[in-house]
Amino acid sequence: MSGSMRDVRLLIFDWDGTLADSAGQIVGAMQKAITGLGLPPRSDESIRELIGLGLNEALQRLYPELEVDGLRGLLDGYRARWLSEGAGEAPLFDGALDALRALHRKGLRIVIATGKSRRGLDRSLAHHHELAALVVNSRCADETASKPDPRMLHELLDAERLAAHQALMIGDTEYDIGMAAAIGMPGLGVACGVHDPGRLHRAGAQAVIEAVAHLPDWLSARQIPGQIPG
């Protein structure tokens, strides 16, 4: 993007594939669940493609021939057992925490909009407590409409009393970029996650950077002020 972004006050981050390097873990866990529950097999790529959606929406696309509520119940039970067995939390991408600290120091407000459940996000934030300390708000797929519906963005904007052009959505999927584009919010893609840069551009991304670690420099080049007035 070549223009100024001086109006931006709010940074909205996706979680999986954007802040957390979790795609491989999510695919592996889903494959274990599919095998353990005796469900029809699906490829790693077909599962990876749906990361970022809420679980119900992902299951509808992955198993359109099956009844979602019953399937969701089975998977919830499997996931509870998987977590009780001590499944590890996915690491943050290199440089992501330092980048968010730098952006926080500039006065930018940091929120999360994710396809994770509230329980899942709270668990991730409890593990990554240094990042959690920088986050002022969040929305999860099980407490609002799932991506690519932009309702979670509307709710975050309402909570922050900001307009769409005063926020920037940062994500790794066309679902992130598409929901931002639907309400006139600029969207920035990251290439470290699930969807390739071409898909992100076609969905309406203003630009695609390699990872969140590069975000402070990208914003500085677009005239984000050094300190935002209170």
d(CA 215, CA 52): 20
Sketch the domain layout of the chain as residue ranges.
10-21+90-220, 23-84
- Quick one: pLDDT at residue 48? 92
Task: Please give the backbone phi and psi of residue 177, each rounded to the nearest 5 degrees, phi first.
Answer: -70, -40
What pLDDT score does 229 carry?
39
Q: Which residues contact 111 (CB under 8 A, 6 or more apart)?
A: 10, 11, 12, 13, 135, 136, 137, 138, 139, 156, 160
- Residues 60 and 78: their CA atoms lie apart, in Å, by 18
Q: What is the pLDDT of residue 4?
A: 58
pLDDT category of residue 189 using cuts at 50, 70 and 90 = very high
Q: What is the pLDDT of residue 82?
A: 59
Alpha-carbon span 213 to 230, nearest angstrom = 25
Give the residue-averaged pLDDT of 63-79. 80
CATH number for the region 23-84 comes to: 1.10.150
Q: Does residue 151 sit in helix, strand or coil?
A: helix
Summarize pLDDT for 80-103 with one digit per residue, the tens.
665 555 567 899 999 999 999 999
Looking at the domain that runs over 10-21+90-220, which CATH code has it been given? Answer: 3.40.50.1000
